[in-house]
Structure 1
């Protein structure tokens, strides 16, 4: 998200209301595009299956396949995405943009090998039909590519192109679903999976074209970004712990007594899966507002402070710029918390009136929504720590949240209780940890700014540097300096 806000400030600055509204819509699509596309297609597909009189098994098969594809595509790409994000940012900053497109090809290749192998092994043990497994495999692969593309499209300034890409993908998928309803008498889940795959491939092609227009040059340093795993291992673990935190507790519930098997392939737990699906939707506003509000406003104060630090300014001017920077940070953080609180209350109200939940699911949902409020504010604080390059602090925050989440859910599964309590407890402890770390950083900001950097550059060639160099040589390229 951090790369998007730098350009959105131009939209906000043009027109106060309409510019801000347009920036909010654009960032919503950019940040949540794949998830929105999945949700829209899934809900429409489920509705059409129901209207056509398809068996309950087909609806469950569509739901479970889509959910598995989305969740595990996030898990597999989670660690690498943080590393690639830093690499792409550095290459743009150093005016080595020819490395950006090459890293896209290289990261997609690595993820497809890893994800493709895991998916092939998973479906090889499934008794489902061959056609169904091929289509499910293709959808999973497309989601892997879409996750990687999400990093690169944040550097593309043509936001309307991105919105159109996801829009055309959704229109293609929904139109194909409607066509299936007219052609086939008996609808099957695999028909709609084909439609979803068609929608994603349209979006992928259009997104890659937009990225290539922004970064037209490419060299053969496809795997140069791998050196960043050794250079910034903390980023890899931040991304990995983040996705484990998001989905680890779900896996624990799937292994409990409330599990249900679909097609002897997928393990689900509808009692928990349904409320957590709706609860996740409640945190999207804060994610978007972080980009639109925090970064568009905070970046200017942040930039001015570090310009004064690196320039010829007096200590008083630097101190004044520092005070202003943290004043803006506090103001925008409070605004985000208040903004998300409104949607949290609204989500709880909808959960008891409109959202189709059972009484037991409502009890879980209400606790989950509150827990997710703690989580998303913690997530914002963690992004702020990364803004100041406090990678150690970010690791402490996300690892604490992950550990408490997994431990508390394990205890609940073993001894009973409201499944939403795991999210509530881990979110609260994670948020406290994030606030304490941020307070510590702010209190010692001068030390981290002026005294924590190495006095002399360290020149060493790591294992990942050598590995990336060899991979690039095999492709006929040369490592960038």
Structure 2
């Protein structure tokens, strides 16, 4: 959603280093806050648990509990995130803010059900006791709430409150962990609880911010499901991008580098540690995409599409299109150069840093780290181009690109494990992003030359009735919700009369 761009533009218009840092800081928190928070907690809790002498076995189980919960939440929220983003964007464009919060409740409820069905069996086979199972499930569910909230947070303009929420949650988590250490109550379950509480505080505070911005709610919680039948490419491409991004790491859990800790808790430290470090290099481009592309590109984009919507002159439309594509080309070039610089820094400075943070790290891990740094750098640029494709409603191009990326990344990684040499581990992901990059760049260049054609040809001459399996599911869920609402409304007079004669006004309200 482009709502964040208007507020950031005001921040960047102010002069001074402090204002510049403030603008980048806000955009960073809004775009990569939850992921950065997760990385900080993983590293911080690992250091705390090691400092107080928790056994290696317990620390590995803790790491698996956090990592598996992060991955499950990451993949499950990816099912609906692009569809929900499109739905909420359309409701904001139509100025129907009362339709926004119901989609949040509906998306979260479905995600929680999917998490219970898929994650619970793995935990039953892996954790040591019931408390660990509950904490892992709780952590994963809160993560899904937070990541879903981030879709809606981009529409808010209260950046300072968002930053304060992240700061309070981070400090609360580490404070709780330190209190447990001081009281001699530190344990694997205690550290897992502290992380869960921290994300719980963040989820609660962001929910309150959302209610301030979207105070009214009306309509069904599941209307957004209709968008799956309208834009099926969004659902599939969103999930495939996550598969391509992290699938190669999961596959390594079951290759020659695997380590089985307990039950279905597997790891591949020689691969996942350098992958996590290399992954951090894309955070810079993620921030710069919002700042460089959205802030500068979106006004040109909005002007161009506005001329179509309000019947602008052909000459003005052509000039607006030329101006928009010129700015887009310039901003993507800036984005690419910044990512190249970031990748070089991560390789030159990050390599000795990995050796310091992880004493005894193998030469294989260092080789994987360097290769994945380049791979994630290419991914960051290609993913930004894919997001521009979504701006232009080229859902088919996004789907093909994500399919190529995930298929090659996963396929080549599996081939490497079966037939390849371990010295080339990481090449599967690298091959996937290279093909993905060249395809998506070529697609954008081809598609942008035909913008007027695709813009006009996508308009329906005759309004058609919505059909599809998810439309049917949406209708059934809407009917069930309507019956439930009617049942509660029928009880309101009884409840209000029980409270005395003055409660009538409250019931009417």
TM bracket, shorter-chain basis: over 0.9
Residue number in structure 1 paired with 2:488:
none
Residue number in structure 2 paired with 1:398:
402
Aligned residues of 2:236 and 2:399 also touching (Cα < 8 A): yes
Query: For residues 18 and 308 of structure 1, what CA distance do their matches in structure 2 show?
Result: 37
Query: For residues 61 and 124 of structure 2, what CA distance do their matches in structure 1 show?
Result: 17
Q: Which shows bigger deviation, 354-363 or 226-235? A: 354-363
1:475 pairs with 2:474: no
Residue number in structure 2 paired with 1:288:
287
TM superposition outliers: structure 1 runs of 4+ over 6 Å? none
1:465 pairs with 2:464: no
Deviations 1:276-298 (A, max 9, x none): 00011011000110001101001
Residue number in structure 2 paired with 1:251:
250
Residue number in structure 2 paired with 1:407:
411
Aligned residues of 2:282 and 2:377 also touching (Cα < 8 A): yes
Aligned residues of 1:220 and 1:475 also touching (Cα < 8 A): no
Query: For residues 127 and 193 of structure 1, what CA distance do their matches in structure 2 show?
Result: 13
Aligned residues of 1:79 and 1:235 also touching (Cα < 8 A): no
Query: For residues 305 and 408 of structure 1, what CA distance do their matches in structure 2 show?
Result: 41
Residue number in structure 2 paired with 1:71:
71
1:359 pairs with 2:358: no
Distance 1:190 1:85, change over 3 A: same
Query: For residues 344 and 73 of structure 1, what CA distance do their matches in structure 2 show?
Result: 27
Aligned positions, number: 478
**Structure 2 counterparts to residues 41-440 of structure 1, below 5 A:** 41-126=41-126, 128-184=128-184, 187-356=186-355, 357-417=361-421, 418-440=424-446
Query: For residues 298 and 138 of structure 2, what CA distance do their matches in structure 1 show?
Result: 40
Residue number in structure 1 paired with 2:449:
443
Deviations 1:365-387 (A, max 9, x none): 10001111111111011000001
Q: Secondary structure at the match of 1:261?
A: strand
Distance 1:17 1:446, change over 3 A: farther
Q: Secondary structure at the match of 2:260?
A: strand
1:103 shift after superposition: 1.1
Aligned residues of 2:304 and 2:321 also touching (Cα < 8 A): yes
1:452 shift after superposition: 4.1
1:127 shift after superposition: 5.1
Distance 1:98 1:312, change over 3 A: closer
Q: Secondary structure at the match of 2:255?
A: coil
1:7 shift after superposition: 3.0
Q: Which shows bigger deviation, 378-387 or 299-308? A: 299-308
Q: Which structure has the larger Rg over C-alpha atoms?
A: 2
Aligned residues of 2:410 and 2:429 also touching (Cα < 8 A): no
**Which ranges in structure 2 are unaligned for 5 or more consecutive residues?**
356-360, 486-509
1:44 shift after superposition: 1.7
1:17 shift after superposition: 4.7
Aligned residues of 2:127 and 2:133 also touching (Cα < 8 A): no
Query: For residues 219 and 301 of structure 2, what CA distance do their matches in structure 1 show?
Result: 35
Q: Which shows bigger deviation, 208-217 or 65-74? A: 65-74
Distance 1:128 1:326, change over 3 A: same
Distance 1:477 1:221, change over 3 A: farther
Aligned residues of 2:153 and 2:210 also touching (Cα < 8 A): yes
Query: For residues 31 and 275 of structure 2, what CA distance do their matches in structure 1 show?
Result: 19
Residue number in structure 1 paired with 2:10:
10
Deviations 1:284-316 (A, max 9, x none): 000110001101001111122222233354322
Query: For residues 285 and 331 of structure 1, what CA distance do their matches in structure 2 show?
Result: 18
Query: For residues 307 and 16 of structure 2, what CA distance do their matches in structure 1 show?
Result: 29
Deviations 1:134-161 (A, max 9, x none): 2122111111111211111111111111
Query: For residues 280 and 352 of structure 1, what CA distance do their matches in structure 2 show?
Result: 14
Higher relative contact order (CA 8 A, sep 6+): 1
Q: Secondary structure at the match of 2:353?
A: coil
Distance 1:429 1:16, change over 3 A: farther
TM-score, normalised by the number of residues in structure 1: 0.95
Q: Which shows bigger deviation, 359-368 or 57-66? A: 57-66
Q: Which shows bigger deviation, 256-265 or 63-72? A: 256-265
Query: For residues 6 and 116 of structure 1, what CA distance do their matches in structure 2 show?
Result: 39
Deviations 1:215-261 (A, max 9, x none): 00012511111111111111101111111111211222111122111
TM-score, normalised by the number of residues in structure 2: 0.90
